[in-house]
Amino acid sequence: MALIIMFVFLIISATTATPLPTPPSPAAVELQAAYDARRLINSSVWGVVSSLNYKNGNSPFGNILSYSDGGRGTPYFYLTLLDGAIANFSGADARSSLTVGQFALGTCGIQDPQEPSCAKVTLTGLLQKLDPSSKEGKFANATLFERHPRFSKLPPVAKFQLYKLKISEVFVLNTYGDPKYPTVKSYYSVRL
Ligand SMILES: *[C@@H]1O[C@H](CO)[C@@H](O)[C@H](O)[C@H]1NC(C)=O
Ligand SMILES: *[C@@H]1O[C@H](CO)[C@@H](O)[C@H](O)[C@H]1NC(C)=O
Ligand SMILES: CC(=O)N[C@H]1CO[C@H](CO)[C@@H](O)[C@@H]1O
């Protein structure tokens, strides 16, 4: 008798139990990561740009730099080569990464900066000089001066120039678990 009751109970619970939530598809995970990356890049105005420091045996070097993406995803910079702190952007190896963390926005609550759910994005690529008279150069200049009004006070003698990070890889850590690598294409196709 007890066995029958248990059996009936098992059948009932099997038919009424709420199904386990289906995990999001890999495509949905990639879209979310691409979206989080674009959001964070557009919400921030500065990050750490890492490149090879030719002054120190090409050792890795991180530099805090201002940027703006104008809402389009590509980070633009306004840099002077007189600044001794800037590593070898224009040299033989212009590989660079921009890293931005959500913690700096003050929206991580009580989380530690290192916790994966406090989002981090690293865009890797090449730092390239822009022609200021090109269409992209004009856009970069306008968005940089809009986001960084004090750029208008920089001394002309320092010969600041426009640069962009030509992105080849997107790294996103936005939850516990493995980091995500949304494709550059899905990063750019995000609508904010
Ligand atoms: C990017 O962020 C700025 C504010 O920081 C906002 O004004 C702008 O609308 C955002 N761009 C997009 C495309 O969401
Ligand atoms: C960039 O924008 C600033 C502010 O509008 C302007 O004064 C400057 O001439 C622009 N520079 C270039 C190279 O277009
Ligand atoms: C400004 C700058 O970065 N210049 C150096 C970059 O690296 C090359 C060698 O790879 C040097 O010749 C440049 O002076």
How confident is the model over 150-168, as pLDDT tens digits? Answer: 999 998 888 899 999 999 9
Span from the CA of 53 to the centroid of ligand 3 (angstroms) = 9
Give yes or no for residue 85 CB within 6 A of ligand 3: no
The distance from CA 1 to its chain's CA centroid, rounded to whole angstroms, is: 63
Distance (angstroms) between ligand 3 centre and the Cα of 93 equals: 9
pLDDT, tens digit, 9 for 90 and up, residues 170-191: 999 999 999 999 999 999 999 9
Q: Which of 54, 58, 93 to mutate to test the pocket of ligand 3 (most atoms within 8 A of CB)?
A: 54
Residues of the chain with pLDDT under 70: 1-17, 83-91
User: Across the strands, what pairs with 101?
Assistant: 120
Residue 89's pLDDT is: 62
pTM equals: 0.85
- Which are the contacts of 72, defined by CB distance < 8 A and separation ≥ 6? 139
What is the whole-number distance in angstroms between the Cα of residue 164 and the centre of ligand 1? Answer: 18
